[in-house]
Amino acid sequence: MRIGYYPGCSLLGSSREFNESVKAVCEAIGLELVEVPDWNCCGASSAHVLDHELSVALPAKILAQAEAAGLTEVLAPCAACYSRLIGAYSELEKNPDHKTRVSEIIEMPYTGAVKVVNVLEVLERFADVIQAKAVQPFARKVACYYGCLLVRPPKVVNFDRPEDPQVMDQLAAKVGATPIDWPFKTECCGAAFSVTRTDLVAKLCGKIVDSAVKLQAEALVVACPMCHSNLDMRRPETNAALGKDLQIPVLFLTQVIGLAMGIEPKKLGIQRHMVPVAFNAPTGAQA
């Protein structure tokens, strides 16, 4: 099986381990990732506040490139990329006449033939394969953290339960983890305020991390580079704001699955985290 792959900027920069672990897990489950040729920026957090047409055209260009390459689906692991891509896709499906305008702007045909999927949706299709290959069960209590971009807006992304999503918990359970029932699954982590208002991010992440620890989670599991960097990289500020020293690690879901499948931790980028991951590591793992 093959599927289009759009890494976006985060997965080549601050979240290289997400890229590495997605690729490693997909290889293990037999899913070939075909990188969208000549891809461009998805517009991220800037385009849609500046120019609406631009914010639709940028993702549309990516999808048009995928279409030209004969792909029918594109996997966007980064939650922000996913949000921009599916937002543009659904807007153009709702207003088919805008497709003509967008095609003019991007100077190539856009028909809407390519669908956008996130990493949870793709892994869910392989849930049984994943379960079968989980030779080293990740037998720990985990707090699955979805953040905002994966689950919103509900009418566009069609998540199971927008305020209390389940799919990541179910996947984590497939590889032996025990997901905790907690209320912070979709609470705000501070997102892009990481740079401009680190104090806010520290405060918001503090609540998330603190609650997970209180409920005895041993790891936070995420599927979004932004969530990850706020919960992981901003831990010193978070701990300072809390007045505590919380060392709960933050893993990408693909890393959790990869570890359970016995993939070498280095191949999953485990060593790149700021908060060290010191468990369930087969030989050669570095903290």
* Binding residues vs another protein (CB under 8 A): 154, 161-164, 182-184, 187, 211, 214
* Alpha carbon distance 287, 267 (integer Å): 14
Measured CA to CA in angstroms, residue 48 lies from 51, 83, 88, 176, 200 at distances of: 6, 12, 10, 40, 23
Distances (CA, A) of 203 to 143, 194, 261: 19, 11, 35
Place of tokens 């991951």: 277
Structure tokens at 217: 């989670």
For residue 34 the two structure tokens come to 């075909």
For the bound state, the minimum distance from the C-beta of residue 161 to another protein, rounded and expressed in Å, comes to 6
Question: Which is closer to another protein, CB of 154 or CB of 276?
Answer: 154
Cα torsion through 81, 86, 92, 94, rounded to 10: -150
* C-beta of 34 vs 188, nearer to another protein: 188
Q: Residue 148 has which token pair?
A: 């905002």
Alpha helices in the chain (DSSP H): 16-29, 47-50, 52-68, 79-94, 98-106, 119-125, 127-133, 154-157, 167-174, 193-196, 198-214, 225-228, 235-242, 253-260
Residue 3: Cβ within 10 Å count:
18
Strand order in the sheet with 73-75: 32-35, 2-5, 73-75, 115-117
How many CA atoms lie less than 13 Å away from 124 in the CB half-sphere? Answer: 13
Question: Does residue 144 sit in helix, strand or coil?
Answer: strand
